[in-house]
Amino acid sequence: MSPLDLQEQIENGIANLPPPVGNVPVSSIDLYDAAVLTDPWDYYEALRDAGPVVWLERYGVYAVTHYEQVTDILHDNETFGSSAGAGLTNFRTTKPWRVPSLLLETDRPEHDRTRQQMMRVMNPGAIRAFRPTFEALAADMVQAMIDKGECDGIADLAERFPLKAFGDAVGIPTDGREHLLPYGDMVFNGFGPANKRFKDCLAGLGDAPKWIAQACKRNTLTPDGLGRRLFAGVETGDLTEDEAELLVRSLLSAGLDTTIFTLGIALVNLARHQDQWEILKSDPSLARQALEEVLRYDATFHTFYRTTNRPVEVCGVEMDTNQKVVVIIASANRDPRHWDRPDTFDITRSASRHMAFGTGIHGCAGQMMARLEGEIVLGALARMVDRLELTGEPVLHFNNTVRGYVSAPLRVTAKA
Ligand code: OVM
């Protein structure tokens, strides 16, 4: 093996770094190992039991896994910043693989201007207006699954619905939308180490970045879509043309894999927990609540990072400045210090304070859209489908940040 410099060792997870200061539990876990990505829950439990803050020696980062400290850190955006990147890579020392996001990878005050522009477009009224269109689309797609009988929950619904519904809502071209999936896969791998998964993904991107860049342009976007509405910020002097394009890129980066994987996870969990499926189909008005429980119990988004802007103490652990901290939101969602029976999938519980969308100033800007899509799809299933059964093992997709399925063979029958 050729010698690697330290930065590269860290990014490949083969460093063995002692904690720089203070007393802290140390773990050798590799959050990006296939075994952890396959079934992370026992690993998260071990980390939680080791303490609220644990040093991960392979990557030289602190891990935070308890609900309380995850919440505190996400709320303290001054100490735990995002402008050095929301992934493992420290932008102060390593060049990011793409131009940083104007939302995710910025701090105050710069962040507030772009966030405000995004929220101007993603406002509750604008999102609500998509309901009738989305309901009709979901009903058509669920009917097509029923007509097939044997289908794939991912290809036939979890991927198909957001690509059509969200793609049309943003106003991107219909042709070439398949580029959004490898691009999103790259974005989410990019928050982890520069491992083989990352490098293979980068090498396999093909024309996707070019297609995305073109899709973000004012004149490519439909005149009435969410994407084009961002450009009104150019007319008011709040954004430059390039900034508006980058905000459209945020919609396309953050808005597909997340919702696609969440819908797939919802299907798999409902099919695996027939008692919960029975509850949902007997009361379709539980769709929204069921979605929240899916997001809590089996969050798509598992990890992102903050970087300390000053020396800080968390639960007795002294952190130096410029330290990466991995915030494991999927673990916070299973923390027994916060949740009653955290490992039980129960759609009747009140789960809406889960961390699947993060919290604080960087809390998911698209969560209203995601919730609308999820509620409508689960509602359509609950109203139209009787039997929802897996006919084979769902196939996991491996990614450094998001977790979900690429296929889920299903048998679905119509309600009488
Ligand atoms: C962005 C972006 C990309 C991926 C995720 C995300 C969860 C944001 O480009 O702004 O937020």
Q: Residue 240's domain spans which residues?
A: 3-414
- Cα–ligand 1 centroid distance for 4 (angstroms): 30
Contact 266, 280 (CB under 8 A): no
Helix (H) or strand (E) holding 318: strand 317-319
The Cα 58–Cα 329 span in angstroms is: 20
pLDDT per residue, tens digit, the chain (416 aa), is: 344 555 565 556 556 787 877 789 999 999 999 999 999 999 999 999 999 999 999 999 999 999 999 999 999 999 999 999 999 999 999 999 999 999 999 999 999 999 999 999 999 999 999 999 999 999 999 999 999 999 999 999 999 999 999 999 999 999 999 999 999 999 999 999 999 999 999 999 999 999 999 999 999 999 999 999 999 999 999 999 999 999 999 999 999 999 999 999 999 999 999 999 999 999 999 999 999 999 999 999 999 999 999 999 999 999 999 999 999 999 999 999 999 999 999 999 999 999 999 999 999 999 999 999 999 999 999 999 999 999 999 999 999 999 999 999 999 999 98
- Cα–ligand 1 centroid distance for 177 (angstroms): 18
Q: Which atom of ligand 1 is nearest to the CA of 249?
A: 9
Domain CATH for 384:
1.10.630.10
Contact 260, 158 (CB under 8 A): yes
Q: Which residues have C-beta atoms less than 6 Å from ligand 1?
A: 101, 103-104, 187, 249-250, 253-254
The Cα 312–Cα 353 span in angstroms is: 26
Contact 96, 89 (CB under 8 A): yes
- Cα–ligand 1 centroid distance for 253 (angstroms): 6
Taking CA atoms only, the protein residue closest to ligand 1 atom 11 is: 254
- Cα–ligand 1 centroid distance for 101 (angstroms): 7
Question: How many independent structural domains does the chain possess?
Answer: 1
Residue 41's contacts (CB-CB under 8 Å, 6 or more residues apart) are: 334, 343
Contact 252, 163 (CB under 8 A): no
Q: Could you tell me which of 155, 163, 39 has the C-alpha nearest to residue 409?
A: 155
